[in-house]
Amino acid sequence: MSAPAPLDVGIAGAGQLARMTCLAAWPLGLRVGVLGRPGEPAVAMAAGLVEGDWRDAEAVRALGAAAGVVTLENEFVDAGALAEVQAAGTPVRPDPAVLARVQDKALQKELLRGAGLPTAPFVVAGHARELAAAGRDLGWPLMLKSRRLGYDGYGNATCADEAEAVAAFARLDGGDGVLVEGMVAFANELAAMVARTPSGGVACYPVVETVQRDHVCHEVIAPAPVAPDALARAREVALAAADAAEGLGVTGVEMFLADGAVMVNELAPRPHNSGHYTIEACETSQFENHLRGVLDLPLGDVAMRAPAAAMVNLLGSTTGPARPDVRAALAVEGAHLHLYDKAEVRPGRKMGHVTALGATTGEALARARAAAAAAGL
């Protein structure tokens, strides 16, 4: 038996983001493998599997040995292990040295501030006794964030007073303190995906509005229904933020719009939930452009195919086997259903998403909401 063909790209992770990236690879003739376990969402779609865990440095090194380029499904992969992969001759994109700063939320904020980009006011508290001063300086309530491994609200806490902040600090401190942010009275939460290549190619997707509940994205509206000057400023900020982070492939830039001003909330050095709508709504999806970016191929057109689009996440509401009502969801005209092949439902777990296009954002959102409700998860 002949040896398996080498992988063009290896993804550290095997969840739904890797799944959709693998699906985007096949039409381009690209072989994309994943680091994960049998049964994870991306494995059935991948051209190869390096069995293991992205938290295991040895497994990350094995992925590097099997692939021409290594990229990420999440920003939590150990930067030191990725640096070893790159030192052994396999490019890692984004670069591990920059990733080390982005994956630490405190260092990320300092990176953005150093680039002259607006953010919420923040300090790093190394001890719970520093929280009272932070509250006096930034004003209550405060947002406390773990410096690493926080996502979808995990690792965040909104604290109304010092007692709540001290309790949250005990949960969130990983040994090097926590990021403390002043609360922003924003009117809208915005996001944009920025694709970049090593040779200098750049493309910015339309700025979208994200609807968050309990720090979890529920809906995305494209383009964001805000004033044209705010859209233009958000695009400028997203491009500058991705440049500051030396993003390669796709970088997700989350932003706030407050009193007409745009500020950066957080960066994700990978495809992002707020860019899922691009599969149907844009000429080139974020997943295809992520692959083009990390392989230094020409980037695809990011223009929208319709005046408006909306994406609604399918979030679990019960616990047990996943039994989505596919027939009912597909009966909604104009809706596109994406299921992530997760066998078990848990409250709040992302089981899939629905995208719809429309002549207006209202029309697109109504279609997407109807299909999501019909899916019944």
Provide φ and ψ at 225, rounded to 5°.
-80, 65
293 in Cβ contact with 345 (< 8 Å): no
Question: What is the third-level CATH fold of 121-182?
Answer: Dna Ligase; domain 1 (3.30.1490)
Is 372 buried (19+), middle (13-18) or exposed (0-12) by CB count in 10 A?
A: buried
- Whether 188-375 and 7-92 are alike in CATH topology: the answer is no
The CATH class that applies to domain 188-375 reads alpha beta
Residues near 293 by beta carbon (within 8 Å), at least 6 away in sequence? 93, 195, 196, 197, 201, 248, 249, 250, 299
Parallel, antiparallel, or unpaired for β 249-258 and 335-339?
Answer: unpaired
172 in Cβ contact with 125 (< 8 Å): no
Euclidean distance between CA atoms 138 and 142, whole angstroms = 7
Vertex 40, ends 342 and 152: CA angle to 5°?
A: 65
Question: What is the third-level CATH fold of 7-92?
Answer: Rossmann fold (3.40.50)
Per-residue confidence band for 214, with pLDDT thresholds at 50, 70 and 90: confident
Provide φ and ψ at 320, rounded to 5°.
145, -170
Over the stretch 40-82, which tens digit does the pLDDT of each residue have? Answer: 999 999 999 999 999 999 999 999 999 999 999 999 999 999 9
Domain ranges of the chain: 7-92, 121-182, 188-375
How far apart, in Å, are the Cα atoms of 142 and each of 120, 231, 256?
A: 11, 28, 16
Over the stretch 252-279, which tens digit does the pLDDT of each residue have? Answer: 999 999 999 999 999 999 999 999 999 9
Q: What is the pTM of this model?
A: 0.95
Which of 276, 271, 265 shows the shortest CA–CA distance to 238?
265
Here the tokens at position 118 are 């607006």
Per-residue confidence band for 152, with pLDDT thresholds at 50, 70 and 90: low
